Structure 1
Amino acid sequence: GAPPPPPARAGGWAGAGSPLLSPGEVRSKPMTVLQWEKLSMGKLAHTLWGDGGSDGGAKGAAGALEKLMEPGRAFEIDISALEGRFARPDPSARFRRAESDNSDRSTVGSADGGTPRARISLLEPKRSTSVGIVENKLRGALGGKPLRDAILEVDEALLTQDTLKMALSAVPTTAEQALLLAFQGEPSTLDRPEQLLRSLCGIPRLEGRILAMMFKAQLEPDMDELLQQVDSLKAACEAVQGSAELQALMQIVLHIGNALNAGTARGNAAGFRPSALLKLAEHKAADKKTTLLHYTVEVVQTNAPKVRRVTALLPTLAQASRVSLEELRAKSADLARGMDQVERELTALEEAAEKEEERREALHREAMEAWSAAKEQRDEARRRHREGRAAARASEGGGGGGGGGG
């Protein structure tokens, strides 16, 4: 076949524009391929490779690189140096590395030193032990106030987030409620864990109440944290989109990657996914010491030193890098579920209040009816009493008249 192009002519492109190589171009020796996810020309819209760059123009990252190039200088890559540093090793010269780390490692497990309680109780021993620990902590946290009273009174001063978490773990199950309520003896004879759970059995919607209070206690700090994370991501996105230096750097990486991948399925990329940047530090040179990241820095220094100003982005990006989109979605979903829980609890309380009001009105009607009946009976008793007294007086008068005439 045709001999490879001489190193001098393969040194670069006439400018920092298109990174695409001629379809038939290959390297003079096998290269270690940069495993990126390349983008075709049809997928560049709304990306930094297309019209999503800092100036919104059609040149994108290529235009950003042109602006940062040294005046009068054309972008070049020393292909012979690239081949010398990143050529694939000769199979006959490969050596095996000792990998004794995995074989020598051992994990020492630690057994739980806790001893189960051997105490007679209505609960299972393991459950009794865990509830006993919670009960002891709750007594200290509540200052001796019964947990039942604190929940019914919604005592926010005592029911902190940690206290509510402990209370949630002490919510009796349906089976435990049946077991504890069936106990016919004196409640004071029960062990402390049983006494605690039994005292909670009569609280309507106990778990829902605790969850609603937990949500309310944590809502403000959770919302503040969520908004701070969203602001960090927004600031980072705006900084990335507006950074000509970052886009120029991406264009340089694109040039280097296409030069490295020439003649392979991953070559001639019009763009690449940002995840490829992580591979630069992993892509070792032939000396096993330097990487493609080191080489990229050298190319930047030679062609466009101004690109080094990209480090000004680091503080903003470092803060945003600690934010996980998955965690943001999960927190948003948790907030939505918490709001639903509070709404359900408020609805239940309103319905209970309405039922209580109806019950009170019914009791009031019954009391009024009973009072009316009592008044009638009283009036009837008074009437009869008056009639009786009148009859008695009349009887006394009639008897006296008869005696006087005798």
Structure 2
Amino acid sequence: MSLLSRFFYKRPPDGLLEFIDRIYVFDSCFSTEVLPQGMYPVYLNEILTELHEENVESSFLAINFRDGDKRSQFADILREYNIPVIDYPRHFEGCPVLPLSLIQHFLRVCEHWLSSGDNKNIILLHCERGSWPLLAFLLSCLLIYKKLHGAEHKTLDIIYREAPKGFLQLFSALNPMPSQLRYMQYVARRNISPEWPPMERALSLDCLILRAIPCFDSDNGCRPLVRIFGRNLLGKNGSMTNMIFTMPKKKSLRHYRQEDCDVIKIDIQCLVQGDIVLECVHLDLDPAKEVMMFRIMFNTAFIRSNVLMLNSDDVDILWGSKERYPKNFRAEVLFCEIGGMSPTRAPTATLNGDMKGGLPIEAFSAVQELFNGVDWIESSDDAAYWLLKEFSANSLQEKFQKLILNDMKELSKMQAKVGLQMPLMSPLDSDEEKYSVASDSVCSADHEKIQHGGNSSDSENIDRDFTTEDSESSATLSINSSSPPHQPQPHPPPHGAPSSLLDSSVPSTGTSGSQTKTKPPQELPSNRLPFSAPAPPPPPPPPPPSGSKHAVSSAPPPPPPPPRISSQSNPPKKASLKPLHWVKVTRAMQGSLWADAQKQGNQARAPDIDLSELESLFSTASVTSASEKGATKRGSAISKPEIIHLVDMRRANNCEIMLTKIKMPLPDMISAILSLDTSVLDNDQVENLIKFCPTKEEIEMLKGYNGNKEMLGKCEQFFLELMKVPRVEAKLRVFAFRITFSTQVNDLRTNLTTINDATKEVKESLKLRQIMQTILTLGNALNQGTARGSAVGFRLDSLLKLSDTRARNNKMTLMHYLCKLLAEKMPELLDFDKDLIHLEAASKIQLKLLAEEMQAINKGLQKVEQELAASENDGEISIGFRKALKSFLDAAEAEVRSLISLYAEVGRNADSLAQYFGEDPARCPFEQGKF
């Protein structure tokens, strides 16, 4: 209320509270006290007299919420003042929500009365004791209808706070807000369709599925009993509301426990239309004692996808009973079109001892000898999985041991071979060959460390020195390949690597002292040096060059060498080069390019590389003079305009990187979002846009910026463009759902069809039936004369015992014997898997995950509907968006309705599959029925 309106505000008479302009509520509606007999007429007369005196030119309309059909005292008193009274019921089948037709009537009466009479008419709202929850609900609906508030939950909470604390709990045993919010959303979506409320659909309420069992007794379970209230479409008076479905109230009502199952499915098959109240109560062992589990009120006109998926926050439950429901509790109400109602089910045929097709018991005389005295192993593990694990573990272990033995033998041979021939190496070998020997020595040291386990400190020192020096000198080796080779020492040790060879292959700068102190490995095996016969004695060595003296001894450095070998001496600091991120090969495989290059020697030598040119091209930083750097800095400071960043730099940089991947002007991007154009933006791009929607703090910061907006960074410019679209993040989420909807629906439909096909194949396979009968006869033969014998069937988990039961010699299991028996006497059954084409694909599908996908699709459609209703107030910017979204919503609802019908059919077939094997569908989920 503005300051001017507060100045001219006229306080209502005592006993009235003004909720909306010219809509007054009697304060007796908020009181828990009951006026004494005879005081109530006095209370009303005082209020009405004062009201008439202050509003002489106004007309009055009173609306009363009462219980029963008798005329109330309130209506009799107001009739004396010529004030018309409209009576509404205080609840609908115990729920403080009116049917949608009465809600529409209330809203339009209020709108018409307030708009007529030169905007001076007044409405008086009154509720009798216990009707406050309904009055609060209708006031909230009126605020939503007149667009005075937008958020349903917040609006309802504001109205309830006007009453004393605990006032709602006093008049309602259940929390009615979830059902009230559902109907408020119906009111908020009145602009989606041309007619509101939409036409009420006649549907068949197929079943109720509860996922995650609520706890309502000492056994952590419940005995649910379902009742449904609504119009009886098959009765004589279809407009009357009464109970149209209830489960029989018997002591034998099924009890579900959390440890036994996690899904409850209750078949209903009831025709419903219009406003429906569904109650689920827990029936104690005493049939007269009931505890309300939850209540749902809904209207079939808004069941767009033939499913209601609700969690514990979406159903009316007892106050303070939230802990009774697991966190993943979900109630699914499945519908189908009346034409698609499933017929009354015939009893499912089960597998039992009366069915023929197996072998006679005389065929199992041999099995009694093999398995005599062998008990069934009580194990719940998957025997097939255990057996596979054992096989794989044994085979891997054997392969690993063979590999290690072969490597050890090869290594010992190579060590002996290299030990004999290493002293006879030719001094004319190229540097690449010498480098390969050095690198092999490192690998051999590792092998020795693994093989012998000793000399760990020496091996570690050798590995550390060779590894560090190798990385520092790899470039030098390739450049100095054409320089004269260094000569070995005159008398090398018989089983050691020549020290000069190691020094020349791993040159270092300033580390020669530490290098000479490090002991080389005692043996130098290598499988890359092609030694076929001892080499001839080397020629007399030429005098060593000055570079080698410097590399071996610690004498003062000689005069500067030629440029080609200048890297042997201490070079000046050079520019660091950009690294080449390759995967280095340390041992050349026999027959490979690198091994052949080592054999060919000088023939395959790489060309000389100009280091100066390499540094100028691939240095990490450009080499420029100080004057050039200063001029560049001064020029950039003058010419480059300063960019203003308001957003956190890290977030701004990530946002700019994201924008570079989209590669389109910002206005075109916004246009594609508002038109839901999937050909311009894909799902990954839309998801990235959602991540970089501006937060509330960033929006306030950008709104408070008064400078030149063209000087802002790209991220800030992007945020400003998004801020032009109302609720841009919600629109982007709707867009993302629009992109992925077809894929989600197609994948879900494919999985549901696969499960349907698999269940039909299992039930129709005659070969599988004969095999099961054979197993039954085999088990009775083993258990003959015991309490386990004379069975008419067996549980599915007993199939795992076939692999656990072993013969006396432990060489054969009962599964092996069954396969042997079938191969000898009934070989035509061995290809029974050809009858079960879809079983393997169905075994990878879980119905629980499909239910979650179904819920995600349904929730996505709800978000689409909410955004479509909210965009009515956006103005011209959302005209194209509303048109595209409305077209998508119409097509998506038809898709989801057919998908829900298929989903319900799959649930029925999965239950019938469990019944086919004599199992309880609640205790034997579909996944167990797939073997």
- Compute the TM-score of the two structures, normalised by the length of structure 1: 0.54
Aligned to 1:127: 651
Alpha-carbon separation, structure 1, partners of 2:784 and 2:358: 26
CA apart distance, 1:235 = 0.9
Structure 1's 154 and 312: CA in aligned 2 closer, same or farther, altered over 3 A?
closer
- Aligned-residue offset at 1:236: 0.8
- For the residue of structure 1 that corresponds to 2:679, the secondary structure is coil
Residues 72-81 or 181-190, more deviating = 72-81
Counterpart of 1:79, as a letter, is Q
CA contact (8 A) 2:674 2:878 kept: no
Residue 207 (str. 1) matches residue 708 (str. 2)? no
Alignment of structure 1 residues 219-234 onto 2, 5 Å:
219-234=741-756
**Contact conserved, 2:656 with 2:714, CA < 8 A, in 1?**
yes
Consecutive unaligned residues of structure 1, counting only runs of 5 or more, are: 1-50, 89-96, 102-118, 358-406
Closer/same/farther in 2, CA of residues 81 and 289 from structure 1, 3 Å limit? closer
Q: Deviations over 1:304-337 (max 9, x none)?
A: 4343242213422123223221221122111101
Give CA-to-partner distance per residue, 1:174-195, whole Å, 9 cap, x none: 2332233333333333333333
Question: How has the CA–CA distance of structure 1 residues 207 and 291 changed in structure 2, closer, same or farther, with 3 Å as cutoff?
Answer: farther
Letter of the 2:682 partner, please give it: T
Task: Tell me if the contact between 2:672 and 2:681 (Cα under 8 Å) persists in the aligned partners.
Answer: yes
Other-structure match for 2:573: none
Write the letter of the residue equivalent to 1:238. K
Contact 2:655 / 2:692 at 8 angstroms: preserved in 1?
yes
What's the offset of the Cα at 1:354? Answer: 10
1:272-304 CA-to-partner distances (Å, cap 9, x unmatched) read 443554665577778777655333312333554
Residues 314-373 of structure 1: CA deviation (Å, up to 9, x unaligned): 42212322322122112211110111111112212234459999xxxxxxxxxxxxxxxx
- Provide the residue aligned with 1:349 in structure 2: 871
**1:67 has 2:357 as partner:** yes
Aligned mates of 1:293, 1:157 — CA distance in 2: 57
Q: Determine if contact 2:754/2:841 at 8 Å carries over to the other structure.
A: yes
Point out which structure has higher relative CO (alpha carbons under 8 A, 6+ apart). Answer: 1
Structure 2: distance between partners of 1:122 and 1:286:
81
**Counterpart selection for 1:79 from 356, 359, 368:** 368
> Equivalent of 1:310, from 815, 820, 832?
832
Q: How many residues are aligned here?
A: 273
Cα pair distance change 1:311/1:147, threshold 3 Å: same
**Structure with a larger share of its residues in helix:** 1
3-state SS of paired residue (2:681): coil
Relative to structure 1, is the Cα distance of residues 86 and 347 closer, same or farther in structure 2, using a 3 angstrom cutoff?
same
In structure 1, how many angstroms separate the alpha carbons of the residues matched to 2:877 and 2:656?
Answer: 37
Could you tell me which amino acid in structure 2 is paired with residue 216 of structure 1? Answer: R
Structure 1 moving runs of 4+ over 6 Å: 84-88, 97-101, 258-269, 282-289, 354-357
Question: Among 844, 858, 861, which residue is 1:336 paired with?
Answer: 858
Tell me which moved more, 268-277 or 233-242: 268-277
CA-to-partner distance for each residue in 1:205-236, whole Å, 9 max, x for gaps? 22221122222222223222222221111111
C-alpha deviations, 1:81-118, integer Å up to 9, x for none? 12488898xxxxxxxx99999xxxxxxxxxxxxxxxxx
CA distance 1:197–1:354, shift in 2 (3 Å): closer
CA-atom RMSD in angstroms: 4.4
Identity %: 27
In the alignment, is the contact (CA less than 8 A) between 2:358 and 2:771 conserved in 1? no
Aligned with residue 660 of structure 2, among 112, 136, 140: 136
Would the aligned equivalents of 1:77 and 1:256 in 2 still touch at CA under 8 Å? no
Q: Which runs of 5+ in 2 are unaligned?
A: 1-346, 378-389, 398-642, 880-931
- Shift of residue 121 of structure 1? 4.6
Q: Which amino acid in structure 1 is aligned with residue 753 of structure 2?
A: D
Could you tell me the TM-score, scaled by structure 2's length?
Answer: 0.26
Cα 1:238–1:270 change in 2 (3 A) is same
Alpha-carbon separation, structure 1, partners of 2:778 and 2:827: 16
Partner Cα distance (1:222, 1:234) in 2: 18
More strand by share: 2
Task: Note if 1:189 corresponds to 2:672.
Answer: no
CA distance in 2, matches of 1:266, 1:207: 65
Change (3 A) 1:240 1:193: same
Structure 2: how far apart are the matches of 1:215 and 1:276? 45
| Residues 17-166 of structure 1 aligned to structure 2 (within 5 Å) | 52=348, 56=349, 60-64=351-355, 66-69=356-359, 74=363, 78-83=367-372, 121-139=645-663, 142=664, 146-166=668-688
Shift of 1:239: 0.8
2:369 is aligned with what amino acid? S
After superposition, give the CA deviation of every residue in 1:361-395 in whole Å (9 maximum; x if it has no partner): xxxxxxxxxxxxxxxxxxxxxxxxxxxxxxxxxxx
Q: Does 1:240 align with 2:530?
A: no
Partner of 1:78, secondary structure, is helix
Q: Is the 8 A contact 1:68 1:307 kept in 2?
A: no
Could you tell me how far 1:167 is from its partner in structure 2? 1.8
Give runs of aligned pairs for residues 162-173 of structure 1, distance below 5 A.
162-173=684-695
